């Protein structure tokens, strides 16, 4: 069994209004050192798969087909084997 951690981030150059709002909120709370905020998604999945290669291939496919919108987003993932 594998645990997958997937990080979905907006590509550089894509506007992030949610990040901008959070930056404004932090600054209005007095955190003036905050320069830039970008908000993405963090997805944790459990995969019932025995082999790392299979898990890796499948998680890539899932990212490209459903989890990330590759026009505006990038993805990264980490796979970790766990006892099932």
Please tell me the distance from the alpha carbon of residue 18 to that of residue 23, in angstroms, as a whole number: 9
- DSSP-assigned beta bridge partners for residue 2: 47, 81
Judged by beta carbon, residue 33 or residue 53, the one nearer its own copies is 33
User: Which pair of tokens denotes residue 31?
Assistant: 């955190």
* Residues 74, 24, 44: CA angle, nearest 5 degrees: 35
Instruction: Look at the block and give the residue holding tokens 């496919």.
Output: 61
Q: Name the minimum Å distance from CB 28 to its own copies.
A: 10
- DSSP-assigned beta bridge partners for residue 75: 8
Q: Name the minimum Å distance from CB 2 to its own copies.
A: 9
20 binds its own copies (CB under 8 A): no
Residues 33-72 that bind its own copies (CB under 8 A): 33-49, 58, 61-62, 65-67
Q: Name the minimum Å distance from CB 14 to its own copies.
A: 13
Residues that bind its own copies (CB under 8 A): 1, 7-9, 19, 22, 25-26, 29, 31, 33-49, 58, 61-62, 65-67
């Amino acid at each position: 069994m594998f645990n997958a951690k997937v990080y979905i981030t907006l590509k550089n150059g894509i506007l992030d209004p949610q990040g901008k709002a959070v930056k404004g909120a932090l600054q209005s709370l007095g955190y003036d050192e905050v320069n830039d905020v970008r908000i993405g998604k963090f997805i944790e999945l459990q995969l019932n798969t025995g082999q790392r290669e299979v898990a890796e291939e499948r998680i890539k496919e899932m990212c490209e087909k459903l989890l990330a919108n590759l026009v505006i987003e990038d993805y990264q993932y980490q796979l970790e084997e766990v006892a099932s």
